[in-house]
Amino acid sequence: MMKKIIYVIIAGVLFSCQTQSENTDMQTENPFYQEWDTPYGVPPFDQIKDEHYMQAFEDGMQQQLDEVAAIASNQEEPTFKNTIEAFEKSGDLLTKVGGVFFNLSSANTNDSIQGISRVISPKLSAHNDNIFLNADFYARVKALFDQRDELDLTVEQAKLLDNYHTRFVRAGAALSLEEQGKMRELNEQLSSLSVQFGENVQKEDNKFEMLIENEADLDGLSDNIKKAAREAAQERGYNEGWLFTPHKPSMIPFITYSNNRTLRKQLKEGYIYRGDNDNELDNKELARKLANVRLEKANLLGYETWADYILAERMLDTPDKVYNLLDKVWPAALEAAKQERNSMVEMAFTLDHDVTDIKPWDWWYYAEKIKMEQYNLDENEIRPYLKVDNVINGTFTLANKLFGLTFEEQTNIPKYHPDVRTYTVKNEAGELIGIYLSDWFYRGSKRGGAWMNTFRDQSNMGGEKVIPIVTNVGNFTKPTGDTPSLLSQDEAGTLFHEFGHALHGLLSECTYPSISGTSTPRDFVEFPSQVMENWVFEPEMLELYAFHYETGEVMPIELVEKIKNAGKFNQGFATVEYMAAAYLDMAYHSITEPIEGDIDAFEKKAMDEIGLIDAIVPRYRTGYFRHAFGSPEGYSAGYYSYLNSEVMDADAFGAFKESGLFDKETANAYKEHILSKGGTRDAMEMYVNFRGREPKFEAILERRGFN
């Protein structure tokens, strides 16, 4: 029968329900329905149009539901192969389109993609419910789980079975039909609310501008900072002036070097009040709704709080264990931060007699002054040796020395933006193990921060070897004129950090894609990335990549020593700023009753309870806390994970310091027991297999200078 054509316009995007013949024609033209004959199967980005996504999503969901129905209705007794492995192989089309769409929605979005995201996110949430609330499918999985000890499964198969059984239970498969209906409703709300939260943050990022028209107001800024600001103004259509925005590559240099306190305040407040301006982009009400809906979902599943629900699947599996970790570090960190603040008050009085109280827009400025006075170290001394290309090559050199990897840049691999660089990755034997894409420069179509993701996960089901397609994305300042992109110390650490995630994906040697690569507990996944940061400013490592962008000279030993001596400088601030956000995350997700009243007051109360000083603002305030509120789960009740991972990374790097910075035996053990194993084993078991014992907590205190 001929289907009626219905057109719906959502956020400027045209979607339509077509006749079957029209659908067939569209599928013929849609790259997601074709085999990609591109090099290494990288998505043909130039052929993919925004209008291709919705149909591929819709058909991909239906295809997977058909596959699930076949598994669930199978009359044969359930086996690992016909149930678990069959599901692991399902959803090819959905995986294909999702792998492209969600990468680009973060790295190269537009109004059309954002409109699609608002539509498809609740649909995908419902799709997930349709699978994991399928009673017949759950019965087969439960039957296997109940007899798991008799199935002669491999370690990886046993972990996969346990994962799926847990996922069904946590999705609500054991609930009544009425309760399952409520669960579907709550999941749809979480999906829609989190999408809107993330969009608001990105719009806020791009909305605030501080245009300086009087050159005298640039006092204290270097020529490179001014040049970048002038180009930023021109890119936004200003013929005159210098533009600064809340994006960190723009904001941090300004609040570090500008002598104009009023303008430092203006820019810093533009950053810290994102999502908290009582306008159409305000995120406070969305955060409240997300926290309250999460509480309702947790209660429905039998948990007292959302944190209890989330942490049941983490290394630290209860809120008490998380607070125990935070509370071990917080007092020493806060005391260090107070001492740092007092030093700044003295410095401020010396330089500016009218400044008697340090504010958040003062900290970076006076910290830089103190660093110059105490260590004779200026960030501008370091940047010329951290040309972004050199730092990238440094990560490749490190990967080669540790794991024998080689990265070869290619020009024939498709890209989704001209800034992207593409590489083949080979192991020591010269075998291709993955494709690596890097996209490090800021643009307005990219969300803030830096991250790693995959367009395709590694797997080896049935002997069919699938190599991963891994991407790193960042927001570093672009080259300006004849000046290349020069990174700060923090930015160099960020690049190495995200590259650590990339190695976790590239060195995966697992059978099943859903537990390969970085598919580990949230409070373990940051460990492999944070380990890589340890090498950045080691003298032996600097000799390999830190070359002056003009002279080519290696970073002089005198500067290396100054960096080393200042290594524990300002660690009170860095730790408190981060941990305050971790406490705020836990405050939202440890509630036992819905949040009512003013959200700013809720945040203030949470910060007052830990004694946060006024001079420091949490790294993420509520309005732009995308880690906590930017996805249905994300890092909610999990932002502490970086600290938990640092306990391990500080201890693990000790193994390299003991054996040699590039010791192959240690590196091979790290690769064998951590990087190659993905999420196929218990996280602590993997760590102990590598280190021979559990991590020692004291290493993190020593590193930060708190002991």
| Residues acting as catalytic residues | 498
Please report, as a single letter, which amino acid is at residue 467: I
Q: Token match 């305030």: residue?
A: 621
Q: Do the Cβ atoms of 453 and 505 come closer than 8 Å?
A: no
Distances (CA, A) of 543 to 413, 489, 690: 32, 16, 28
Tokens of 469: 């397609």
State how far the Cα of 6 lies from the Cα of 19, in Å rounded to an integer: 10
Q: Coil, helix or strand for 110?
A: coil
Tokens of 228: 């970048």
In terms of DSSP bridges, do strands 242-244 and 210-212 run parallel, antiparallel, or are they unpaired? Answer: antiparallel
Q: Token match 């971790």: residue?
A: 582
Please report, as a single letter, which amino acid is at residue 323: Y
Tokens of 376: 């004779």
Q: Do the Cβ atoms of 469 and 456 come closer than 8 Å?
A: yes
State how far the Cα of 129 lies from the Cα of 123, in Å rounded to an integer: 10
Degrees, nearest 5: CA angle 188-179-295: 60
Tokens of 207: 């909305």
In terms of DSSP bridges, do strands 242-244 and 421-426 run parallel, antiparallel, or are they unpaired? Answer: unpaired
Burial of 102: CB neighbours in 10 Å, binned 0-12, 13-18, 19+: middle
Distances (CA, A) of 111 to 54, 70, 122, 450, 580: 15, 38, 18, 21, 34
Cβ within 8 Å of residue 205, ≥6 positions away: 245, 246, 247, 274, 447, 448
- Residue 451: which of 29, 106, 67, 30 has the closest Cα? 106
Phi, psi of 599 (to 5 degrees): -70, -35
CB atoms near residue 79 (< 10 Å):
15
Total residues belonging to the chain: 707
Quote the distance between the C-alpha of residue 539 and its chain's center. Answer: 29
Cβ-count burial 45-63 (b if 16+ within 10 Å, e if not): beebebbbbbbbbbbbbeb
- Residue 582: which of 540, 518, 523, 651 has the closest Cα? 523
| HSE-CB for 235 with a 13 A CA cutoff | 16
State how far the Cα of 210 lies from the Cα of 232, in Å rounded to an integer: 11
Strand ranges, E, within 84-239: 210-212
Q: Coil, helix or strand for 570?
A: coil
State how far the Cα of 397 lies from the Cα of 388, in Å rounded to an integer: 14
In terms of DSSP bridges, do strands 406-410 and 459-461 run parallel, antiparallel, or are they unpaired? Answer: unpaired
State how far the Cα of 256 lies from the Cα of 418, in Å rounded to an integer: 31
- Residue 138: which of 158, 160, 168, 166 has the closest Cα? 168
State how far the Cα of 39 lies from the Cα of 424, in Å rounded to an integer: 10
State how far the Cα of 702 lies from the Cα of 650, in Å rounded to an integer: 9
Q: Coil, helix or strand for 165?
A: helix
Please report, as a single letter, which amino acid is at residue 14: L
DSSP helix, strand, coil percent of the chain (3-state; round to 5): 60, 10, 30
